[in-house]
Chain A
Amino acid sequence: MLFGNQRARKGELSSPARFVSFALMKRTASTIVAILFSASASFAELPDSFADNIAAIQAIGSEGAGNKEATTAWQAIAKADGEAILPLLQAMEAASPVSKNMLRSAVEVISENELAAGKKLPVDSLGTFVLNTSGSPQARRFAFDLLSQVDSAGARKLVPGFINDPAVSLRREAVTGVMIAGKAQLEKDKDAAAKLYREALNAARDVDQIDEITKTLRELGQEVNLPKHFGFLMDWKLIGPFDNSERAGYDTVFPPENEIKLDATYDGKGTAKVKWVAFTSADEYGMIDFNKPFTSMKEVVGYAHTEFEAAEAGPAELRLGCKNAWKIWFNGELIFARDEYHRGARIDQYILPIRLSKGTNTILVKACQNETDESWTVQWEFQLRICDSTGTAILATNRKKAVVAPPAKKK
C-alpha cells in the first residue's frame, strides 16, 4: 500500500516496502490514522500544562510580544521526554514562523536529552509524521532529519517517495536521486538518461536543480520550455516613461494607478506622450525589459499590465524578481511596494501571497528606474510568475502556447 505522494514512484517503493525499521511502507492508511490518533492520545497523556505551554509559544506576537511567557513555557516543555516530540511537531502547524523556531528548539533539546540518556526517539511516529503530506513542510523536513540522525539508511529509503512532495526540501532530495540515476545512464543509454532527467525536471522546483537538469537535457537534444516550467508571465502591455526625477516618481500616482485604459494616451516624462504597447518576453527567465520598447532610460517610471485567466479560485503566490523600485497591484489592490534600487535580483526574490479569482485576474507592476549611471544600474525590468506554495507553476488558461524558448543564456 502506498500513500499520498509516494504513488508517483511506485516502482521504487517496492524495495522501501521492506523497510522494517519504520514499518511504514507496509502499513495501511487506517494504520497511519491510528498512529496519528495514538499521537493525539499521547498528547492527552502529557501534563495539562503542556497544551497551555504550547499555546504560550504559539502566541509569540509582533515586535517580541509574548516572548517572556513563551520562554517560561519553553523551559517547562524542554523537560518533557520523547512523548512530547510528536505533539510539538504537530503544534508547528498553527505556529507563526518565530513560534515554529521556538518549538523546533524544544524538540532539539528533548531529542538530545533522550539520546544522551540512551533512549530511542519515537521513530514510527516520526516516520508517519514525515509521510503525512498535509503537515507543515518545515516540520516534516525537521522530522525527517531527526529520523536520519538515528537511522540514516532507513531514512534514505524514504527519499524516492518525496519526488512530488509539497515539502520542497524533501522533494529536492528525491530529485537529486533521480539526477544521479540519470547521470549514471549518460554513457550507457541516452534515452534512459533523458527520461530520468525529464522526470527530474518535472519534479524540480529549486532553480539550481532546474538549471542543471535543463543543461543536461539540452545536451541530450531535448527541448525544455523553461518559461512554462516556471510559469513566467510573458505577455504584457507596457507604458512609459513617466518621470522619476529625484526618485519622486515612486510615490507619484500616475494615470495607470487610477485606471487601466489600454487605448489611452497620457503625458509622460518631459514632453513625451505615452501609450500602452504590447510586449512579449523572449527571455527564458521571463524578464520583462522596459529598455527594449522604450530604449535605455534613467529617472523614469514604467508600468506593466496583464490579465491572468485562472481555471479556478484559490490561494497562490505571486513571485517577483526585480532590482528596481517597484509596486504591485493584484486585482486592483496594492499588495507590496519596495523602494530599493539595483541591489540585485533573482527568481522568486519576493514571494507575495494572493488569492486567485476564477476567471480574469489583473496584475499591474510599477517599475522605477533611478539616476545612477554605473553599468550595473542599466536594468529596468522584472520577472514574475504565479505558482503554488511549492513553486509549481499555475498556468493561465489564456497563456499563449507559441512562446519559443531560446537557448540558455545568462539569467
Chain B
Amino acid sequence: MKTNFFLLAGIFLSLSAQADWLNFRGPNGSGFIEGNKNLSTELSEKTTAWSVDLPGRGLGSPIVIGDKVIVTAASGPDQKELHVICYSAADGSKIWERKAWATGRTMTNKKTNVAAPTPASDGTHVYALFSSNDLLAFDLDGNPKWMRGLMLDYPNASNSLGMASSPIAVDGTLVSQIENDSQSLALGIDTATGTNKWKMDRHKGSNWTSPTTLKLGDQTIVALQSNKGIHGLVPSTGSQFFHFNKGASGTPSSVASGGKIYVPSNGLTAIVPDEKGGDPAVLWNESAQGPGTASPIFIDGKIYTINRAGVLTAANAETGDRIWRIRLKGPFSSSPVAAENGHLYIFSEKGIGQVIDITGAEGKVVSEIELNDTILATPSISGDALYIRSDKKLWKFAK
C-alpha cells in the first residue's frame, strides 16, 4: 500500500508543486490528494471548523491555495451577478470579493446554476469560469489579471440547460471545454494574457465533463472527454496526442492514474494511452460499473464508482472485477474525494455528508452529517481539512 501511495505521490508531485486543491477534483482532476493523513474521519458539529453564508448559489467546488479558499457564486433574479470570493482558510473570514456582470446568457435548468464550473488556479492566479461563459482571472489578492466574455467571442457557445465543465491550468495554459449543441469548442488560453493559444472545434452535443491530466513519458497530457470518447491533447498547442473513439458520457468525468484512464464509457472502461501517442489500448470494460452523475475515483489500486441508485462499488483497477459494494444515502450530483487516510468523502444532493472507510474487506460508512441544505458540489481537501459548499454556505471540517 505504501509503495502505491509513493508512486501516486511521485506522479502528483510532478504535476502539482504544492498540496493545494487547485481545480475541480483537485490534483489532475482525480479527486485524490496525497498526504492529509490527519483529515478528520468524523463529520460533525465537533469537527465543523467554521461555516460562512454565501452571496448566491453555485455548484462549483471551493479551491484552496495556501491559506485561501476561493469559491464562486451567482445571484440576482436572472443570475446575472457573478461573484468570486476569497476566504481565509483559518477562520472563514472574507479576504476579498470581486463581482462582475454576466456578459453571456444566464439561463440554466433550475437545478443547476450559473456558478456551476469550479474555478481553476495555477497557484498564483485564479481563473473563474461561469455558465454564462464569462472567464475572469484574478491574482490571489483579487486584482484582475484579464477578463473574457466567451459568449461575446462565440455567440452560440452556450447550453440552455447550463454549462458546467471546469477548466484546468496546465503549464501556462488554461484548458476549457466550452462544449454544447451549437457552437462547441475547446480553448487553450494563455494564462498570462487571456488570449487564445489554440481554439478547437469540438463535437456538437451537451457536455458537462471536465478535463483531467496525466503524465505520459515526460509529457503532461490533458484528456478531453465527450460523447466521441477521449482526446488526449498537448496542453500548450492543442495538438492531438491520442484518441479513444468508443464514446463516453457527457456527465461524469474520467479519472487518470498510473498511466491509465478510467472512462465512463459503455459502463466503465479502463484504457492505456501509449507514451508515443496513437489509439489507447482497452485494458478492460465493465458495463455494470457505469457511474451516475458522480465521477469515478482511483485510490490505491481500486476504482470506485457510484451509480444512479447511489450504490458505491469498489473494483480492482487492473481487472475491473468488483470487490465490494454498499448503498449510500443519495442521490448524488457531487463526486467523491479522498486523501491518504483510507476514507472516501461524498455529499448527497440532500446535504448528507458520508465518510466511508475503504480500508477493510467491505466499505463501511463511519460518519454522517446532515447539513440541511442542497449540495450539488464536490468537496475539496487541503491542509488536513475538507471544504464543501452547499447552496447557501461554505463549510470547513477539520480535527
For residue A62, which residue of chain B has the nearest CB? B153
A192 to B149, CA, bound (A): 46
B152 lies within 8 A of A98 (CB)? yes
Chain A neighbourhood of B134, CB < 8 A: 101
Number of A residues with CB within 8 Å of any CB on chain B: 40
Chain A neighbourhood of B96, CB < 8 A: 112
A97 lies within 8 A of B161 (CB)? no
Contact string, B225-257, partner A, CB cutoff 8 A, digits 1/0?
000000000000000000000000000000000
- Starting from the known contacts A64-B189, A104-B100, 15 additional A-B residue pairs (CB-CB under 8 Å) come to A63-B148, A64-B195, A67-B145, A67-B146, A97-B101, A98-B149, A101-B100, A101-B103, A108-B99, A112-B96, A138-B101, A206-B78, A338-B156, A340-B159, A350-B105
A64 lies within 8 A of B160 (CB)? no
Q: In the complex, identify which listed stretch (B136-144, B303-311, B315-323) lies at the interface while the others stay far away.
A: B136-144
Contact pick for B107, options A67, A68, A169, A349, CB 8 Å? A349
Chain A to chain B contacts (Cβ below 8 Å), 27 pairs: A62-B153, A64-B193, A64-B194, A67-B145, A67-B194, A67-B195, A68-B193, A68-B194, A75-B143, A78-B143, A98-B148, A101-B134, A102-B144, A102-B147, A104-B99, A105-B144, A108-B98, A108-B99, A109-B143, A206-B77, A338-B156, A338-B182, A339-B181, A340-B182, A343-B206, A346-B107, A349-B107
Q: Assuming A62-B152, A338-B182, is B195 touching A343 (CB within 8 A)?
A: no
Say how far B11's CB is from chain A's closest CB, in angstroms: 32
Say how far A170's CB is from chain B's closest CB, in angstroms: 13
Contact string, A321-352, partner B, CB cutoff 8 A, digits 1/0?
00100000000000010111101111001100
A315 to B376, CA, bound (A): 42
Say how far B52's CB is from chain A's closest CB, in angstroms: 19
Number of A-B contacts (CB under 8 A): 102
B180 lies within 8 A of A67 (CB)? no
A5 to B193, CA, bound (A): 43
CB proximity to B under 8 Å, residues A338-380: 338-341, 343-346, 349-350
Say how far B133's CB is from chain A's closest CB, in angstroms: 11
Chain B neighbourhood of A68, CB < 8 A: 146, 192-194
Say how far A348's CB is from chain B's closest CB, in angstroms: 9
A104 lies within 8 A of B101 (CB)? yes
Q: Assuming A63-B196, A104-B101, A343-B159, is B146 touching A70 (CB within 8 A)?
A: yes
Check if B38 is an interface residue, CB within 8 A of chain A.
no
Contact string, A298-331, partner B, CB cutoff 8 A, digits 1/0?
0000000000000000000000000100000000
A228 to B255, CA, bound (A): 53
Contact string, A109-133, partner B, CB cutoff 8 A, digits 1/0?
1001000000000000000000000
A78 to B138, CA, bound (A): 14
Chain B neighbourhood of A172, CB < 8 A: 77
A323 to B206, CA, bound (A): 14
A340 to B157, CA, bound (A): 10
Chain B neighbourhood of A338, CB < 8 A: 156, 182
Say how far B194's CB is from chain A's closest CB, in angstroms: 4
CB proximity to A under 8 Å, residues B27-77: 76-77
A208 lies within 8 A of B77 (CB)? yes
Chain B neighbourhood of A349, CB < 8 A: 105, 107, 160
A65 lies within 8 A of B195 (CB)? yes
Check if B109 is an interface residue, CB within 8 A of chain A.
yes
A48 to B96, CA, bound (A): 30
Which 7 pairs of residues, A with B, have the shortest CB-CB distance? A67-B146, A343-B160, A64-B194, A64-B195, A97-B103, A67-B194, A340-B181
B101 lies within 8 A of A100 (CB)? yes
CB proximity to A under 8 Å, residues B75-132: 76-78, 96, 98-101, 103, 105, 107, 109
Check if A90 is an interface residue, CB within 8 A of chain B.
no
A336 to B78, CA, bound (A): 22
Chain A neighbourhood of B152, CB < 8 A: 62, 96-98
Chain A neighbourhood of B78, CB < 8 A: 206
Chain B neighbourhood of A104, CB < 8 A: 99-101
Chain A neighbourhood of B101, CB < 8 A: 97, 100-101, 104, 138
Check if A71 is an interface residue, CB within 8 A of chain B.
yes
Say how far B105's CB is from chain A's closest CB, in angstroms: 7
B148 lies within 8 A of A64 (CB)? yes
A97 to B134, CA, bound (A): 10
Query: What is A's interface to B at a CB cutoff of 8 Å?
Result: 60, 62-65, 67-68, 70-71, 74-75, 78, 96-98, 100-102, 104-105, 108-109, 112, 138, 169, 172, 206, 208, 323, 336, 338-341, 343-346, 349-350
For residue A339, which residue of chain B has the nearest CB? B182
Chain B neighbourhood of A62, CB < 8 A: 152-153
Query: What is B's interface to A at a CB cutoff of 8 Å?
Result: 76-78, 96, 98-101, 103, 105, 107, 109, 134, 136, 142-149, 152-153, 155-156, 159-161, 180-182, 189-190, 192-196, 204, 206
B149 lies within 8 A of A63 (CB)? no
Chain A neighbourhood of B156, CB < 8 A: 338-340
A344 lies within 8 A of B136 (CB)? no
Which of B99, B109, B149 has most chain A Cβ within 10 Å? B149
Chain A neighbourhood of B145, CB < 8 A: 67, 71
A98 lies within 8 A of B103 (CB)? yes
B149 lies within 8 A of A343 (CB)? no
A146 to B189, CA, bound (A): 33
Chain A neighbourhood of B144, CB < 8 A: 71, 74, 102, 105
B181 lies within 8 A of A343 (CB)? yes
Chain A neighbourhood of B192, CB < 8 A: 68
A234 to B91, CA, bound (A): 57
A104 to B78, CA, bound (A): 19
For residue A78, which residue of chain B has the nearest CB? B143
A206 to B194, CA, bound (A): 34
Chain A neighbourhood of B189, CB < 8 A: 64
Chain B neighbourhood of A169, CB < 8 A: 76
Chain B neighbourhood of A109, CB < 8 A: 142-143
Chain B neighbourhood of A70, CB < 8 A: 146
A323 lies within 8 A of B160 (CB)? yes
Chain B neighbourhood of A105, CB < 8 A: 98, 100, 143-144
A105 to B138, CA, bound (A): 10
Contact pick for B147, options A101, A339, A344, CB 8 Å? A101
B196 lies within 8 A of A64 (CB)? yes
For residue A337, which residue of chain B has the nearest CB? B156
Contact pick for A340, options B98, B99, B142, B160, CB 8 Å? B160
Chain A neighbourhood of B77, CB < 8 A: 172, 206, 208
A113 to B99, CA, bound (A): 16
Say how far B375's CB is from chain A's closest CB, in angstroms: 23
Chain A neighbourhood of B190, CB < 8 A: 64
A343 to B131, CA, bound (A): 14
Say how far A34's CB is from chain B's closest CB, in angstroms: 30
For residue B181, which residue of chain A has the nearest CB? A340
A71 to B181, CA, bound (A): 34
A60 to B135, CA, bound (A): 14
Contact pick for A63, options B76, B143, B153, CB 8 Å? B153
A97 lies within 8 A of B142 (CB)? no
Chain A neighbourhood of B160, CB < 8 A: 323, 340, 343-345, 349
Chain A neighbourhood of B109, CB < 8 A: 344
A350 to B182, CA, bound (A): 14
Q: Assuming A104-B99, A345-B160, is B105 touching A63 (CB within 8 A)?
A: no
A344 lies within 8 A of B103 (CB)? no
Say how far B93's CB is from chain A's closest CB, in angstroms: 14
